[in-house]
Structure 1
Amino acid sequence: MEPTQVVRRDGRRDQELAYSRSPEPEQATRRYTSKHPTQQPQQPPQRARHAPTQQPQPYRDQRRPPPPPSRGRGAPPRAPQPERRRRKRHLFRWFLVFLLVLIVGMVAAVVHLDDSLTRIDALSAYEDRIGDTPGTNWLLVGSDSRAGLSAEQEQDLATGGEVGSERTDTIILVHIPKSGQATLVSLPRDSYVSIPGHGRDKLNASFAFGGPPLLVQTVEGATGLRIDHYAQIGFGGFAAVVDTLGGIDVCLDAPISDPLAGIDLPAGCQTLDGPQSLGFVRSRATALADIDRMNNQRKFMAALLQKATSAGTLANPFTLWPLATDTVGSLKVDEGDHLWHVASLGWAMRGDTVNTTVPIGGFDDTDSGNVLLWDRDRASRFFDALANDQQIPEDLRTG
């Protein structure tokens, strides 16, 4: 094919393009020839281009960041703004301050309450004292002390006035094992036992002869258990604790009417206030006298601890604080005991416990009056189980 003459706009003619065609179209090649070999081929004229039409934009204050676009569902979480982060840090600081104040206040309250405990020398060492036994043993004593009571209070509580030496109406041995249920053992106050230096007499006579130290020594000799902690409460403190809790709920199988204890209680479930509770745990005006009284004492203690450790009591500072102050103000503990020991005792006794009485062999009349005798064989096996930190066999449990 001959070169094609192309007429340019400036009137010049030039051989611009020449094409050679092969017999096969797909192998055709394009050859460029030019009259001026160094000159670049002329580009076809292009249309004039204009700037794109601009849409008017709303005015935005450059000093503030533009508002974030709306986020649709599934959009990634938006980064917190500086102001929000500052607010969170501020709230977190206040929370830490509140937590610190709360901890310091609780520590100060515990120290104050611990200092308020009345401490006595109840576990003083004596010659040939029984060695340590497994588990933890408490001796709980309810005394008939009228200390701190006015004449009007003595009348309200039906204490009968001052009767000389302080005596014990309630003696309970609490064994807390390393694992398992706590055991509450009622020790009848009229139990006929050997009192060091005084021969055989009623158990509560040891308290009258030598106070808490002699009582502890007598109990250790009779049971073969080493007492680790001691707690004693009087009439006034007992009633105050009950009233602080708003009364205690108990259920009676039979009515109890005892003018000497100041109570007249019908059968059935009812709420007892402080004076009624005191009369309930002291009364012997029932068919089994001391046996019923010991059962009532354990029943009442279970109800008292259940209410004292309930969520409603622990979560209410207006009840918890008066309860704590009334309790520590009415307790006497050994010199080595502290508030956390008392708290651990209450916690161990709050749930299901084994409630029983020392095996009884009968009664007898002596120079000390009518006394209660232990079944020696069964009582020996009874306390051996506790000394080995084991549960008392079912056939030895009574009450």
Structure 2
Amino acid sequence: MSARRTRSVRRRGRRTAVRAGVLGGVLALTAAVVPNAAVSSTQVSLVRAQSAGAVDLSPNVLWILAVGSDARPGEEMTRTRGDALQLIGMDLRTHAATSIGIPRDSWVEIPGYGSNRINAALYFGGPKLLGQVVGDLVGIQPDYVFVTRFPFFEQMVDDIGGITVDNPRYFFDENLKPNGFQAGKIRLGGYSAMAFARSRHQLPAGDFDRSANQQRVIRGIQARIADQADRPGFIESGVATVMQHLYTDLGPAELFKIAQAVAQVDPRRITGCVVQGSIGNIGGASVVLPYVDMARRFGDEARDDATLPKGC
């Protein structure tokens, strides 16, 4: 390694160490001042996932099930149907990350409730049951489940200054975005990012394309965070904002581990795949019959290093 590169690595290491100390202090202070969203309304939930009987075979990879709640005003965020489901893994050693997208209408077995769309697990049993069901499908039990309302998601995207995504095709949504999204690299504010992630009716592959768009939004968010991470106060203010609206059963040490993992993801090492399936009709309702073998293959490939091959 050259002397210049060695000095650069050392500088990055010192910045990371300083930032880690500041971030830890922010988490500890905010958790003490605003415990379990006692002051502000709950817009975000981060809880340990149910993992009874599960053995963590990859302790260096942190798995979080990210869920966009379809809750309407006045509804409990964690007891409605989930609208977006992404199982995200982050390798704490290499800073690689991957996302396994689960179409929300996937027809699966929900323990104690029979067969139903996978997003109904949130309604029946909350985040822990949804985490268990997704884990049963993919073969990886998430460590945590993260649930947010879409209006707060919009606010978070606006707070980081918007994101850029690479959109493979033009599409529109007559309700959410009648003017549509142009193909190519496009800039999205909070509302547009929400619409981009939720629209499906004009997409060729419907729910599967929507899940892929959700992964594009996730990559855009992470790229923006990485680009701004060294700006004084950027990460700390973002964490403080989330904490003020957060319900969690985690302590500051666990929250710090998660926040640090997210901030250190290398945008160049993010991969993602969507579980495919066939379209079926059960009880008069259109559902996705997921390819379980594919879901398990994604789980096996990503389990140890949070990496999936390009092209899935």
TM-score (norm 2): 0.76
Gaps in structure 1 of 5+ consecutive residues: 1-101, 149-160
* Conserved 8 A contact 2:81-2:121: no
* Conserved 8 A contact 2:71-2:149: yes
Bigger helix share: 2
* Conserved 8 A contact 1:244-1:322: no
Partner in structure 2 of residue 47 of structure 1:
none
The answer to whether the aligner puts 1:218 opposite 2:133 as a matched pair is: yes
TM-score (norm 1): 0.61
- 1:222 to 1:349, Cα distance in 2 relative to 1, 3 A: farther
- 1:262 to 1:193, Cα distance in 2 relative to 1, 3 A: same
- 1:331 to 1:302, Cα distance in 2 relative to 1, 3 A: farther
Distance in 1 of aligned mates of 2:93 and 2:23: 29
> Could you tell me which amino acid in structure 2 is paired with residue 365 of structure 1?
N
- 1:365 to 1:278, Cα distance in 2 relative to 1, 3 A: same
- 1:207 to 1:105, Cα distance in 2 relative to 1, 3 A: closer
Q: Tell me, what secondary structure is at the counterpart of 1:314?
A: coil
Query: Residues 1-399 of structure 1: matches in 2 within 5 Å?
Result: 108-115=25-32, 116=34, 118=36, 122-124=48-50, 126=52, 129-134=53-58, 135-146=61-72, 166-177=80-91, 180=94, 181-262=96-177, 264-267=179-182, 268-285=184-201, 286-310=203-227, 312-317=228-233, 319-335=234-250, 337-348=254-265, 350-358=267-275, 360-367=276-283, 369-387=285-303, 391-392=307-308, 398=312
Higher RCO, Cα 8 Å, sep 6+ = 2
* Conserved 8 A contact 1:130-1:224: no
* Conserved 8 A contact 2:155-2:190: yes
Distance in 1 of aligned mates of 2:221 and 2:306: 26
Tell me how far 1:361 sits from its aligned partner. 3.5
Tell me how far 1:193 sits from its aligned partner. 1.0
Deviations 1:107-149 (CA, angstroms, capped at 9, x unpaired): 54231234447466552464xx32222133221112123458x
* Conserved 8 A contact 2:69-2:149: yes
Q: Tell me, what secondary structure is at the counterpart of 2:142?
A: coil
Q: Percent identity?
A: 25
Distance in 1 of aligned mates of 2:189 and 2:181: 14
Distance in 2 of aligned mates of 1:168 and 1:283: 15
Deviations 1:258-286 (CA, angstroms, capped at 9, x unpaired): 13324533414332211111111111132
Distance in 1 of aligned mates of 2:250 and 2:142: 13
Deviations 1:304-335 (CA, angstroms, capped at 9, x unpaired): 1111121x453143x44443333334555453
Give the count of matched residue pairs.
278
User: Between Structure 1 and Structure 2, whose CA radius of gyration is higher?
Assistant: 1
Distance in 2 of aligned mates of 1:183 and 1:291: 17
* Conserved 8 A contact 2:47-2:250: yes
Gaps in structure 2 of 5+ consecutive residues: 1-18, 37-44
Distance in 1 of aligned mates of 2:125 and 2:210: 25
Tell me how far 1:221 sits from its aligned partner. 2.0
Tell me how far 1:178 sits from its aligned partner. 6.2
* Conserved 8 A contact 2:65-2:144: yes
